Amino acid sequence: MSLSNAHHISKEEWESHNKMLLEPLAVNDSEVFSIIKKEKHRQTYGLELIASENFASRAVLEALGSCMNNKYSEGYPGQRYYGGTEHIDELERLCQKRALEAYSLDSEKWGVNVQPYSGSPANFAVYTAVVEPHGRIMGLDLPDGGHLTHGFMTEKKKISATSIFFESMPYKVHPETGYIDYDRLQENARLFHPKLIIAGTSCYSRNLDYARLKQIANENGAYLMGDMAHISGLVAAGVVPSPFEHCDIVTTTTHKTLRGCRAGLIFYRKGVAVALKQAMTPEFKAYQLQVLANCRALSSALIDHGYKIVTGGSDNHLILLDLRSKGTDGGRAEKVLEACAIACNKNTCPGDKSALRPSGLRFGSPALTSRGLVENDFRKVAEFIHRGIELTVEVQKSLDPKATLKAFVQALSQGEKFQQRVAEIRVEVEAFAGQFPMPGLPEL
């Protein structure tokens, strides 16, 4: 066998090449396989409480790893740049149909684009479609529970691409209640005249008043866009208010409460497919109801341990723990909990002066609910969290009040008594987590 440039390929080399294409990952690339196995172990024997994460089902992961990966599909069904897309078209149309059905939407009134890779490009696509360059948008401020893509900026710097390409005025929560201040939003909108108002959050534990937001949008001739990335599964199950009645456009991710693979959707009023099928089942609604019940149980248990929850509770899948009264912050507590095999994330609380040292921890119930945990289990999880935060405070008290996060991590990792406490908690956490089944593929 030879090539035109005079390079010769032996029969053995070609057979080796063909063999390589058929080898399983464990044989073909043991290094990558080993890393994936370690991550599988972390997910199986840790407690996943990051509110934006979940565990995809085996069926979703099988679809994600199929031969569909091999095909270019630039364009839309029936209007592709490449040939050979008849089955890609079939799948995309099915995904669109299921997306509309999952949210009980009339196909005569609503359309959906299922092509975004994630929520951020979905949001940016909406902004560029309906707001001219340097046009005005209003979204919930990041420290108050909004998302980076909703126009966040500081006094000195425009942080997100949204705030660079569009003029942004954030709306805020009331400093005393932690609830969105709709009256102030209405006053500011009358002065700012936005082209788009964003009804969406990334760390706000209460339901949005979509009717009030639509009223404010109408007063200013603005579009209302709902970003339901965090609550899309809850909306599909009908256990929280839907944005579709009042919003002109709705975006979402598919991998949070919807429990699919990583992607985005854009729903729009007119003039991911496996997860969407699962979202239409009675079992999925039961799951979402349990997500809410588990979040309430976690919130209640942490309050019983003496913690402050922003807004005092939750209407959805997440809570925000304010650690200022404990004398510590989210960054330090996150490091300790991670060492104890508890995954969560630091998050700003209303009134925080800097996003670099946020006061809070965000916890979500969807992922562990996917593993079968119920209310009593989440009360046990709250106990683990409490012990981790107690340890955080102890480590912090052993240091100078001005000690950096780096110094804190060093003290945690080098202090013998601290490491003993971490090891004790971690052993209990891993034994507890290991009792529950892990969704997905058996090995990876």
Has 305 been annotated as catalytic?
Answer: no
**Both tokens of residue 76?**
């839309």
* Euclidean distance between CA atoms 213 and 198, whole angstroms: 9
* Euclidean distance between CA atoms 122 and 111, whole angstroms: 14
Q: To 5 degrees, how large is the angle CA 212–CA 213–CA 214?
A: 90
| Most distant CA pair in the chain, distance | 78
DSSP reduced 3-state for 23? coil
* Euclidean distance between CA atoms 97 and 101, whole angstroms: 6
Has 203 been annotated as catalytic?
Answer: yes
Residue 8 region by backbone torsions, left for phi larger than 0, else alpha for psi between -120 and 50, else beta? beta
* Euclidean distance between CA atoms 297 and 328, whole angstroms: 24
* Alpha helices by DSSP H, 103-208: 119-130, 161-165, 182-192
* Residue 132, C-beta contacts closer than 8 angstroms, at least 6 positions apart: 195
DSSP reduced 3-state for 374? coil
DSSP reduced 3-state for 273? helix
Please name the residue that has the structure tokens 């089902």. Answer: 57
* Alpha helices by DSSP H, 5-157: 11-22, 25-28, 30-45, 58-64, 86-102, 119-130
Please name the residue that has the structure tokens 């944005």. Answer: 243
DSSP reduced 3-state for 111? strand
In whole angstroms, what separates CA 241 from the centre of its chain?
Answer: 19
* Alpha helices by DSSP H, 179-231: 182-192, 210-219
* Alpha helices by DSSP H, 196-325: 210-219, 232-236, 273-278, 282-304
Per-residue b or e along 208-243, where b marks 16 or more CB atoms closer than 10 Å to that residue's CB: bbbebbbebbeebebbbbbbbbbbbbbbbbebbbbb
**Both tokens of residue 193?**
């005249």
Q: Which of 203, 295, 344, 349 is catalytic?
A: 203
Q: Which of 255, 295, 340, 349 is catalytic?
A: 255
The residues annotated as belonging to the active site are 203, 255
